[in-house]
Amino acid sequence: MILTVTLNTALDLTYRVPALRPHTSHRVTEVSERPGGKGLNVARVLAALGHRVTATGLTGGATGRAVRDGLASIAGVVDALVTVEGPTRRTIAVVDATTGDTTQLNEPGPVISPAQWSAFQRTYEELLSSASAVALCGSLPPGVPVDAYAGLVRTARAAGVPVLLDTSGEPLLRGVGARPDIVKPNAAELAGLTGRDDPSGAAGDVRRLGARTVVASLGAEGLLAVNAEGHWRAAPPCRVRGNPTGAGDSAVAGLLSGLVDGLGWQNRLVRAVALSAATVLAPVAGEFDRRGYQELLDRVTVTGPSGPSS
């Protein structure tokens, strides 16, 4: 079983409009609603790939109930979310049908009390006993300690469970110090963490801070992976236009899927890039175009490894 953790779950709303223009009213042509937050997106993709997945995290209120109702309809995903008092946040993606561009609005999330955080930690420890890998994903809701991910990484490592961390800012910095097996920042998060604009050099710096492998999302250019074995770059065959919401989460799902399937790094990266690009092609956030994914698997290019990284 693969365990995904979404501390700041969300109800994802996607609106499609003919064209998005500021300072005017819009007629929405299509609306979709589904469970969201990075870890739940990862869980959905993993289940679609045929993996057994358990999703945990924090959820509450009317939007939290809507999240759980939606989660119940996803075959292969077990709901192990922990209920809190405050309402789960909403995220709103507005897709411009003319350009294909997306505007994203993200609410902050509920305030989590120390007692609620302790209850979650107990659930997390119990779930790790049957997990083959764990993904710690997304932002922290108000009230959760800034070093929360560092503690969850250490708990997973103590249980002998490989752990992937996908967050940003101070929670990422603290989490990296706990030595996760994989971290997956984007280029901006790498630069913010290290002060370096060169992704390859910045990834090396993050490894020296504690991460065993750094897989950096480079947008349309694909992924960069750096670990003790060397450097890889993996890229889609062409620029893909569409809704990028959830593309990074699909890359995380590809990396975890490849890990539990015993794939080498080259094939893990191929799977991750193909899933990420196929997610951009999908009309709704958090889904991937299955036909596009199968076609992309044979067309993703990978170079490397180009020598070990210290």
| Host H or E run for residue 64 | helix 61-72
Site of tokens 């995904």? 4
Give the residue among 97, 85, 1, 77 at the shortest CA–CA distance from 34: 77
Catalytic site includes residue 197: no
AA identity, residue 244: P
Instruction: Please report which helix (H) or strand (E) contains residue 193, including its range.
Output: helix 187-194
249, 261, 289, 298: the active-site residue: 249
Please name which of 255, 234, 232, 235 lies closest in space to residue 307, comparing C-alpha atoms: 232
DSSP structure string for 141-176: PTTS-TTHHHHHHHHHHHTT--EEEE--HHHHHHHH
Structure tokens at 171: 């929670």
User: Which residue do the tokens 């950096």 mark?
Assistant: 216
Residues noted as catalytic = 249
